[in-house]
């Protein structure tokens, strides 16, 4: 989170050096909104995952490296009621609950891996872990 803070400070310094007269309220509000959007976009980039899988593991790739979650540790794959429609495409929200070193964790995804349906992905996991639950919200 230090990188977004440094970027915002640098942007603030540049704006204050360029602008010598007081800003109108509308422009000030616009700059604040831009700051908030930048912070959200940059922080999302540092917390999001690219998700892949092989025959035995779920792979979470992020900026710090790759985490492997064995299918044996996956407890539940759930299609939630969350849904977003962008440019005519619908993105469903999925949640995967898993056991990581004795601690239950979850990851939320807005599209399932490789465009697979929840049942197809559940069958791949079930080949290794017979006890995984595949749930639909409806």
Task: Give residue limits of the domains in the chain.
Answer: 2-46, 71-136
- pLDDT tens profile 75-120: 998 887 777 776 777 777 788 899 888 888 888 877 655 556 777 8
- pLDDT tens profile 120-134: 888 888 898 898 888
Residues in the chain: 138
pTM, two decimals, is 0.57
CATH topology (fold) of 71-136: 3.30.720
CB atoms closer than 10 angstroms to residue 46: 12
CA distances from 79 to 92, 109, 136 (A): 7, 10, 5
DSSP assignment of 50-109 equals EEEE-SSEEEEEETTEEEEEEGGGEEEEEEEEEEEEETTEEEEEEEEEEEETTEEEEEEE
């Amino acid at each position: 989170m230090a990188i977004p803070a440094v970027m915002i400070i640098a942007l603030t310094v540049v704006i204050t050096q360029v602008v010598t007269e007081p800003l109108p309220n509308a422009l000030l509000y616009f700059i604040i909104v831009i700051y908030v959007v930048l912070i959200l976009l940059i922080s999302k980039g540092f917390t999001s995952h690219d998700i892949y899988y092989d025959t035995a593991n779920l792979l979470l790739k992020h900026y710090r490296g790759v985490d492997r979650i064995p299918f044996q540790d996956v407890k539940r794959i759930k299609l939630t009621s969350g849904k977003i429609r962008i440019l005519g495409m619908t993105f469903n929200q999925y949640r995967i609950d898993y056991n990581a070193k004795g601690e239950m964790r979850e990851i939320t995804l807005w599209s399932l891996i490789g465009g697979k349906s929840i049942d197809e992905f559940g069958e791949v996991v079930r080949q290794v872990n017979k006890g995984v639950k595949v749930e639909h919200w409806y």
